[in-house]
Amino acid sequence: MQSDPKKLVEKNQQLIHSEAMKVVSHTQREQGEWVLHSLIVAGCDAPFKFKRKQQYQNLTGARVNMTYYPVNEVVAGLSFEYMKVVRIKKS
């Protein structure tokens, strides 16, 4: 069952849906039993992050549709903004 991005955005006003975003960089690293994925997207300064149970195909150079929301994380007293990805799909 695939989630419809329009329904997700209607349910939660904080969510943002963007289409055909070009991925400049994609890194994957293990974090316990999860694999943490970090994306850098053309035209956006903040990184996009999501977790999966297994490795994902390399998205560098691909265009993706994403539903996400902004998050602030404090590390060593400094605040960093990143985008938490709820849904990602190649476009």
Q: 34 in helix, strand or coil? A: strand
Percent of the chain with pLDDT over 90: 77
Predicted model pTM: 0.84
Number of domains in the chain: 1
Percent of the chain with pLDDT over 70: 88
Output the domain CATH number for residue 42: 2.40.50.140
pLDDT of residue 1: 36
Please report, in angstroms and rounded to a whole number, the separation of the first and last CA atoms in the chain: 18
Q: In whole angstroms, what is the distance from residue 26 CA to residue 44 CA?
A: 14
For residue range 63-81, list pLDDT tens digits in order. 999 999 999 999 999 999 9
Full domain range(s) for residue 27: 5-90
Going by pLDDT thresholds of 50, 70 and 90, the confidence category of residue 9 is low
Cβ within 8 Å of residue 77, ≥6 positions away? none
